[in-house]
Chains A and B, each alone.
Chain A
Amino acid sequence: QKEVEQDPGPLSVPEGAIVSLNCTYSNSAFQYFMWYRQYSRKGPELLMYTYSSGNKEDGRFTAQVDKSSKYISLFIRDSQPSDSATYLCAMSEDSSYKLIFGSGTRLLVRP
């Protein structure tokens, strides 16, 4: 079993829809949670960075962390065709500098 599980998709939604992307994890020591967006053949772009549990909002993006369920989510409001990309979740423990990534969810926003 992988430490971080992510549905590979693809997830196809119409423009303007609210998108929900999720990851589950097995390691209760994870404290840092990140979401990255990766366009084809490009490097990952950091979207959201959160520590421990709770919500964080930045523009159209909202990240949620539920440590009791070992479940994190990224919500995208008013989705745009330019949001079409692969979304990667990543996590890390305190005092471990490596990020553990999910395998990514491919999102397609249809015009």
Chain B
Amino acid sequence: DAGVTQSPTHLIKTRGQQVTLRCSPKSGHDTVSWYQQALGQGPQFIFQYYEEEERQRGNFPDRFSGHQFPNYSSELNVNALLLGDSALYLCASSFVVNPYEQYFGPGTRLTVT
């Protein structure tokens, strides 16, 4: 049973650049959520996607945007990168009938210099 996969594993970008992170959900899951985890902190919710629509959004600026594809995979895009965007970005998948039981991927570690 394939779990949640994310790519790339690590990424180094420069301030002002744009980045795209990718996620494939656990087999059978149809809902994808994205979280940002700063060092020493718990993950913070960015947004959740279902049926290719953003279903709920956390307290993140519009520089953070996403997309979900018909095969349920998802992308997270961050524009105009700031040093403070350096973090572990986590993707979680779930079933729409139980969106609270979320399974996480290994994350993408983004460093902004």
Contacts and interface: CB of A to CB of B under 8 A. Distances in A.
Contacts of A111: none
A41 B109 contact: yes
B90 A98 contact: no
Nearest to A106: B40
Nearest to B6: A43
B104 interface: yes
A17 interface: no
Contacts, number: 64
B101 A98 contact: no
A100 B103 CA distance: 14
B41 A103 contact: yes
B84 to A, nearest CB: 17
Contacts of A42: 106-107
B104 A46 contact: yes
Interface stretch (B43-51, B61-69, B74-82): B43-51
Contacts of B56: 96-98
A42 B37 CA distance: 11
A99 B45 contact: yes
A103 B42 contact: yes
Interface of B: 4, 6, 31, 33, 35, 40-45, 48, 55-56, 58, 88, 90, 92, 99-107, 109
Interface of A: 4, 6, 8, 32, 34, 36, 41-46, 49, 88, 90, 92, 96-104
